[in-house]
Amino acid sequence: MGEAAARRRRPLSLTLRVALLLSAVAVATFLAVGAYLYQTLASQMAQRDDIELIGKVTQIRRILAELPSAAAIAQNPRPLTDALFGHDDFMLSVRDADGAPLLRTSLTSRPLPQVERVPPLRAPTLDDVHDWTPAVGVGRMVSADGLVGPDGQPVRITLARERSDRLRIMRNYAVDLFVALCVGATLAALLGYAIVRHSMRRLRSVIGKANDINTSRLNTRLSVDDAPVELRELGQAFNAMLDRLEDGVQRLSGFAADLAHDLRTPVNTLMVETQVALSRPRTAQEYQALLVSNSEEYERLARMIENTLFLARVDNAQLALRRESVDLEAELRRIHDYFEILADDVGVRLTVAAPPLRAELDPVLLQRAVGNLLSNAIRHTPAGGAVGLSARATADGVELAVSNTGPGIAAEHLPHIFDRYYRADPARSDHAHSAGLGLSIVRAIMELHDGKIWVDSVPGASTTFFLWFKKSKNI
């Protein structure tokens, strides 16, 4: 039962959907055209019948004018009845001026309505034709005055006609239209399905190529130059997605390799130092020195794990910002005071210049971003150098700057310094306080704030990192 229900709920294929849509469009078109043709035919037939009715009235007037008297109508009605030969659906009534019947060819016992008669000297028009109700359908009639003989004796002429024959024709025509509609809709559905299925061959080939792509063949791309216009945009979007996936996989592979490299160093240090210590008996001071060294390596491992987890949370959008209005002047001075002791220890002068400014951001992440930049700046500034922390308002936000004097950064390294585990030092120094993630974390923090980060470095002179935070609407 479950599998049967699942099959019933399975959506229709795109080919079948388009074919059904084409058949629906064809049915709607056939219906519209059929209705138009039906109404046009009915209108033309009605107009033709009315014109024929008017023509018969004119002919009867002419016949009456050639008769010697009104009494001749009753004595010899043949000339009038011959005028209606072949028209079994006509009914003619001729009366004298007093209303006495002179001739009547009746198809129905129903009385004809009294309508305004056409004067004898005026030709009847389509406006003089009126409806009447026979036993079946709707009839049409004309009432006119005529003149008989050379004396011009007045008579009353009523010519009526049933339309049962026209109704039969229209019913047969409607049946033919319905049959044509069914046949046309069926042909449209079958041809539409065949055409769409043929057109989908290109899409199926694209799907086949897409199925051949895996993690070891991410360099494969779909050919879009010879693809139809409708599939070209899809192919370009798919190739762009493959470009991003390939770049992501390569970066992930590099990230994993760099992470393994950086983790291997402290682990090997811990292992070697422990094995050396256990190779022979040691004094308490030697074991204490070993524990201090191990503690430093553990701290380095903890920092690396913490930083890696932070970046992973940012990549997976699991880190929520806690924005609040922050006094940047007070916050930057607080950060300055915290790092001033570290700067003094290595002989570096640390300054801060921040006017009264406020910004809406996450203060904890701000401290982490600025702290990472200050820590790097102090570490790469030679003794006697200076590190500056400043802030200023811009037209559309707030800009922070961390600058230092020192060797600077070579131009070939600038595009990569924000990559994870990237170090400009070719020797990949395993400094106890560096794991190559500090600038990556700063960039991630700026991306969370919809801000920007960039660097300006003059080799052998100075380096300045800029942090730009977008102005909040609430500030």
3-state secondary structure labels for all residues of 270-321: HHHHHHHHHCCCCCHHHHHHHHHHHHHHHHHHHHHHHHHHHHHHHHCCCCCC
> 352: number of CA atoms within 13 Å, CB side?
19
What residues form DSSP beta bridges with 36? none
Cα 469 to Cα 144: distance, rounded to the nearest angstrom: 96
The residues of the chain scoring below 50 in pLDDT are 1-2, 6, 426-433
- The answer, as to whether pTM is greater than 0.85, is no
Q: Which fold has domain 321-470?
A: Heat Shock Protein 90 (3.30.565)
Confidence at residue 1, expressed as pLDDT on a 0 to 100 scale: 46
Confidence at residue 75, expressed as pLDDT on a 0 to 100 scale: 83
Confidence at residue 381, expressed as pLDDT on a 0 to 100 scale: 92
Cα 205 to Cα 226: distance, rounded to the nearest angstrom: 13
Confidence at residue 228, expressed as pLDDT on a 0 to 100 scale: 66
Is the alpha carbon torsion for 302, 308, 312, 315 positive or negative? positive
Cα 364 to Cα 374: distance, rounded to the nearest angstrom: 15
Class of domain 229-314: mainly alpha
Confidence at residue 39, expressed as pLDDT on a 0 to 100 scale: 87
Using alpha carbons, list the distances in angstroms from residue 247 to 43, 251, 393. 71, 6, 36
> Comparing C-alpha atoms, which of 169, 206, 144, 35 is closest to residue 89?
169
Beta strands 101-105; 130-132: pairing state? unpaired
For residue 403, the SS3 value is strand
Confidence at residue 352, expressed as pLDDT on a 0 to 100 scale: 93
Give Cα 231 distance to the centre of its chain: 16
Number of neighbours of residue 398 by Cβ within 10 angstroms? 23
First to last CA, the chain: 61
Taking 3-state DSSP, the helix, strand and coil percentages for the chain, each rounded to the nearest 5, stand at 55, 15, 30
What is the total residue count of the chain?
A: 475
> Comparing C-alpha atoms, which of 469, 364, 463, 356 is closest to residue 414?
463
What residues form DSSP beta bridges with 459? none
Confidence at residue 404, expressed as pLDDT on a 0 to 100 scale: 93
Cα 302 to Cα 37: distance, rounded to the nearest angstrom: 85
Confidence at residue 76, expressed as pLDDT on a 0 to 100 scale: 85
Confidence at residue 378, expressed as pLDDT on a 0 to 100 scale: 92
Q: Both tokens of residue 306? A: 């913490």
